[in-house]
């Protein structure tokens, strides 16, 4: 591990964008992903599974399938209408780590674009996000898939996936160091409460800050072996809460607004049991949209008791 890593400072100049620039009018009322997007996602997931198996077996990263299939697939899917809708319905089957890597990369790239990152930063963000969790392949299955709480020693080992990922990417010699740094830092938090090094604020690379928001969002929105799926509104509340202290506020708010804007037209289930369609997102309260239910439209920002529980097909 290089020492300059620990003390490096990065400015926020990576984010040249302001939230008010994120467009809020829906560009399309059709939010279903296309057939080709579904096929691309399937192909990318199976290639990623191959890459992960090779890491598990021989402790090395296969660059070719990443460059030939996975990276271009993420690039393509990040511009697909309805990709949020699709991603929110994934994560309930096998291949969790593959699906998670690809979903995090797609959403990170979208967010990086909304933050107006340079082309080079977008490339590092895409590739680093695909690789962010590969260190998990060095963690024993008994720990990864344990249905009950981890012991202290097991949790310490789990946290090492960040360092293992960094070492693996560094060893390939093919990836810029920032990509290894994303793997190392995606569980660090701005207030120093993260791991593995309790880094703070600008000790954490701006691209790692983007991946950490998306990683946290996607992990919460997926069904895992050790718990049931978290209701959608609880994820939004948690991100809102963590935006002050844990995550970069600009990155988090831009993400929430971008996601809710893209979910216009999506069918949702509400906490009162009714189903409706997201119609209008307010810039002031992006996570409390107006929902069409039957012949009426209800405004969640005015109806404090009613919340979105989940996205439905
Ligand atoms: Fe992770």
* Average pLDDT estimate for 195-210: 98
Cα 38 to ligand 1 centroid, rounded to whole Å: 25
Q: How far apart are CA 222 and CA 241, in angstroms?
A: 19
The CA 187 to ligand 1 mean position distance, Å, reads 6
Contact between residue 260 and residue 301 where contact means Cβ atoms under 8 Å apart: no
Catalytic residue among 136, 199, 209, 307: 136
pTM of the model: 0.85
179 C-alpha vs ligand 1 centroid, how far in Å?
Answer: 14
According to CATH, what is the number of the domain 11-263? 1.10.3210.10
For residue 311, what are the β-bridge partners?
268
**Across the chain, what does the average pLDDT equal?**
85
Give per-residue pLDDT as tens, 92-121: 556 788 999 999 999 999 999 999 999 999
Q: What is the pLDDT of residue 249?
A: 94
Residue ranges of alpha helices (H) inside the chain are 4-7, 35-58, 63-65, 71-77, 83-88, 96-114, 119-131, 141-144, 152-159, 161-172, 177-185, 206-221, 232-242, 249-262
Cα 211 to middle of ligand 1, angstroms: 10
pLDDT attached to residue 227 = 59
Written as six digits, the tokens of 303 are 């109806």
- Ligand 1 midpoint to CA 270 (Å): 31
* DSSP conformation letters of 103-140: HHHHHHHHHHHHTT--HHHHHHHHHHHHHTTGGGGGS-
Check if 279 is active-site: no
CA of 284 to the centre of ligand 1 (A): 32
Q: Give the distance (Å) from ligand 1 centre to CA of residue 134.
A: 8
**Residue, of 171 and 225, whose pLDDT is higher:** 171
What's the pLDDT band for 30 if we cut at 50, 70, 90? low
**Contact at 8 Å (CB) between 64 and 104?**
no
- A 10 A CB-CB count for 275 gives 13
Query: Could you tell me the pLDDT band of residue 311, with boundaries at 50, 70 and 90?
Result: confident
Two structure tokens written together for 268: 């949702």
């Amino acid at each position: 591990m290089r020492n300059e890593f620990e003390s490096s400072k990065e400015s926020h100049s990576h984010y040249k964008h302001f939230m008010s620039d994120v467009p809020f009018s829906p560009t399309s009322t059709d939010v279903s992903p296309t057939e080709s997007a579904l096929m691309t996602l399937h192909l990318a997931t199976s290639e990623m599974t191959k890459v992960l198996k090779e890491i598990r077996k021989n402790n090395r990263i296969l660059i070719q399938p990443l460059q030939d299939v996975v990276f271009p697939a993420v690039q393509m899917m990040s511009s697909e209408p309805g990709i949020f809708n699709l991603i929110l319905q994934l994560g309930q089957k096998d291949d969790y780590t593959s699906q998670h890597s690809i979903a995090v990369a797609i959403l990170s790239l979208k967010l990086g674009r909304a933050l107006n990152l340079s082309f080079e930063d977008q490339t590092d963000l895409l590739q680093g996000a695909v690789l962010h969790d590969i260190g998990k392949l060095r963690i024993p299955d008994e720990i990864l898939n344990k249905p009950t709480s981890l012991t202290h020693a097991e949790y310490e080992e789990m946290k090492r996936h960040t360092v293992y990922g960094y070492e693996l990417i560094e060893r390939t010699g093919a990836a810029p160091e920032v990509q290894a740094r994303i793997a190392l830092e995606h569980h660090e938090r701005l207030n120093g409460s993260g791991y593995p090094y309790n880094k703070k604020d600008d000790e954490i690379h701006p691209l790692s800050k983007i991946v950490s928001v998306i990683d946290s969002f996607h992990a919460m929105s997926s069904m895992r072996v050790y718990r049931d799926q978290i209701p959608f509104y609880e994820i939004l509340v948690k991100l809102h809460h963590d935006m002050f202290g844990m995550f970069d506020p600009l990155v988090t708010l831009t993400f929430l607004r971008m996601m809710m804007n893209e979910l216009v037209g999506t069918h949702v289930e509400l906490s009162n049991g009714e189903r409706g369609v997201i119609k209008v997102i307010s810039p002031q309260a992006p996570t409390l949209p107006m929902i069409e239910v039957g012949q009426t439209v209800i405004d969640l920002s005015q109806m404090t008791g009613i919340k979105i529980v989940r996205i439905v097909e």
